[in-house]
Amino acid sequence: MLIKDNFDEALKFSESTNEFLSHYQIPPSPVNYSVIYLHVSKRNEKLSVELERHLQTYQEIDLIFIEGLFEKYISNAHTIDKQILDPIEKALASTLEKINLQVDSDKTVASNLKKAEQALTKHEYHKSMQSIVAFLMSSITTSQQQHGDLSLELTRACGEVNFLKSKLEAARHEAIVDSLTGLYNRRGCDMKLQELDIEQVHSSLAIDIDHFKNVNDTYGHMVGDEILGEVANRLSAETRDKDKLVRWGGEEFVFVIAGGNKDNKTSVANRIIKTISSKAITTSVGEIRVTVSAGAANIKPGQLNKETWPEVLKKVDRALYIAKEGGRNQAVLI
């Protein structure tokens, strides 16, 4: 059957994907799996051409390159849901419903034929009619079995579609969320900025943990991760639903204050600095006190787009640099 062939084909592609990942020692994360699955299944010609060209040049694949392919070819995977998986799921569900209705109809016919057979056995002269009824019952039984088998196949195919949708959702989540802090990452920041009204004035803060390298060198990266997680929690407590907080990279965070905040950006930045520095962070090696520096700048109407957002970041980074050079544990507005 066509559906079974497709299911078996998907299993084959899955095995090939795992072999590819293992051969090049690539972690089987949702992002990596999605890229390689598309490649081995030949579902995206441009992706495969770029990947094969990279292999011919470097004989290996690094995670940054795979992430680039994901962003370029798959990060808009919601279109796969809408344009491919959702229609398939609906078609399968519709077909399954029709099959189940047919099964119910077969049961009704079989029940009526059974009654007819019982009635005919009481009359010896209806032997020929009994044979016809027996034949019909046998045919109905076969039909029921076939419909039952098809129903099971369709149910299994629906399950596979749901599995693929969950894989895509996991890949999307991994692509935009920082796994350590649970905050959005750079890619997630670009996506969330689109939710803000570009005609309003907003504010942006760049927040950096002071002397974080010393923390890692002294206590190790695991303790450094504990501190990053707690700083992220404290920063999150200072945000409103419409504000945007992201881990920009390393020990740096970006905080976009949506327009209409009654506090100005300087007071928000100073409050954040006090929140971080006022209480030591409890870690696996004891309490450690850290401070942060912040740079702040206004975002003018129309600047929340991919073309002008880098310019905003340059301004807040410049302000952050001044705060660092000026002694740290302070905010600078430009």
Active site residues: 251
Tokens of 131: 């044979």
DSSP for 82-132 reads: IIIIHHHHHHHHHHHHHHHHHHHHHHHHHHHHHHHHHHHTT-GGGHHHHHH
10 is written with which tokens? 């998907």
What gap in Å lies between CA 207 and CA 244, rounded to an integer? 13
In order of 18, 63, 75, 189, 248, the CA distances from 38 in angstroms are 12, 16, 13, 26, 29
Determine the Cα–Cα distance for residues 44 and 36; give it in Å rounded to an integer: 10
List, as one string, the DSSP characters of 62-80.
-HHHHHHHHHHHTTTTHHH
CB 216 within 8 A of CB 209: no
> What CA–CA distance (Å, rounded) separates 334 from 320?
10
Query: Amino acid identity of 299?
Result: I
- Distance between CA atoms of 64 and 48, rounded to whole angstroms? 16
Q: Rg (Cα) of the chain, in Å, rounded?
A: 31
